[in-house]
Amino acid sequence: MNVDPLEDERLSPAGNGSNCELAVLVAARNEADRIGATIAALQKTFAGASIWVADDGSDDGTGDVALAAGAQVVRRGRSRGKGGNMTACAEAVLGAPKVPVTILLCDADLAGSAGKLDRLVEAIEAGECDLAVAAFLRRVGGGFGVALGFSAWVIEKRCGVKPIAPISGQRAMKTEVLRAVLPFAPAYGMETGMTIDAVRAGYRLGEYELELAHRATGRTLRGFLHRFRQMIDFARVYVSRR
């Protein structure tokens, strides 16, 4: 199917609606080998939840795998970065016939460990905080922590809070909080900007260490280039949130 690169394509499997209390938004780009397991874990843990996949221009069939697994898919024919694609997905969720009460954001590469995210949803529903963020209990891969530290510094400078998991994509919140932090900051600045915007709006941040696993970038040239691009986006958030 040809997709106009300037238009969102929204696909739903037969019989899948969005009449539920919880919506899960999954950020994905070229995760065809892991997204099926991620969706299966989410479906098992959050029975009846509406699962939406923001497919950021994947060319490996990620969107098709997600659709076959029972998720609704929002995608474009070209990549526009995590923040932009997740904004489009969030807007699609908020425009659904019945808007969910609670929103869970996560990355597509969690595979089976996505089932551990129930702690975030529980924290929101219990009123422990307004924005619940998962911190990985065990760090796997990654660089020397420079990008992570820079994001934390940006957040502290702009809203006075120094998080331990500033760039974690695993987050839960009520719909009113989601509305307050949209649109997300572009590209890799999404989580950094989201935390700043939520705290500035008076919402409480909570962080929870969870036993999660993901596809980590290593100390390779590709990994360092990835973190360099992240830092550029964090700097843009710093400037835009003056």
Q: How far is Cα of residue 84 from the mean position of the Cα atoms in its chain?
A: 11
Whole-Å CA distances, 166 to 1, 52, 97, 150 = 38, 23, 33, 9
What residue spans define the domains of the chain?
A: 9-240
Buried b (16+ CB within 10 A) or exposed e, 1-40: eeeeeeebeebeeeeeebebebbbbbbbbbbbebbbbbbb
Which pTM does this prediction carry?
0.90
Buried b (16+ CB within 10 A) or exposed e, 60-93: eebbebbbebbbbbbbbeebebbbbbbbbbbebb
Confidence label for 7 from pLDDT (cuts 50, 70 and 90) = low
What is residue 184's predicted lDDT score, i.e. its pLDDT?
A: 98
What is residue 217's predicted lDDT score, i.e. its pLDDT?
A: 67
Beta strands in 35-170 (DSSP E): 50-55, 72-75, 102-107, 131-136
Q: What's the fold here for domain 9-240? A: Spore Coat Polysaccharide Biosynthesis Protein SpsA; Chain A (3.90.550)
Whether pLDDT at 11 is above 80: no
Which ranges constitute the DSSP H helices of 95-145? 118-125
Confidence label for 5 from pLDDT (cuts 50, 70 and 90) = very low
Task: Report the mean per-residue pLDDT for the chain.
Answer: 90
CA dist., res. 45 & res. 34, Å (int):
17
CB 98 within 8 A of CB 19: yes
Which pLDDT tens digit goes with each residue over 97-131?
999 999 999 999 999 999 999 999 999 999 999 99
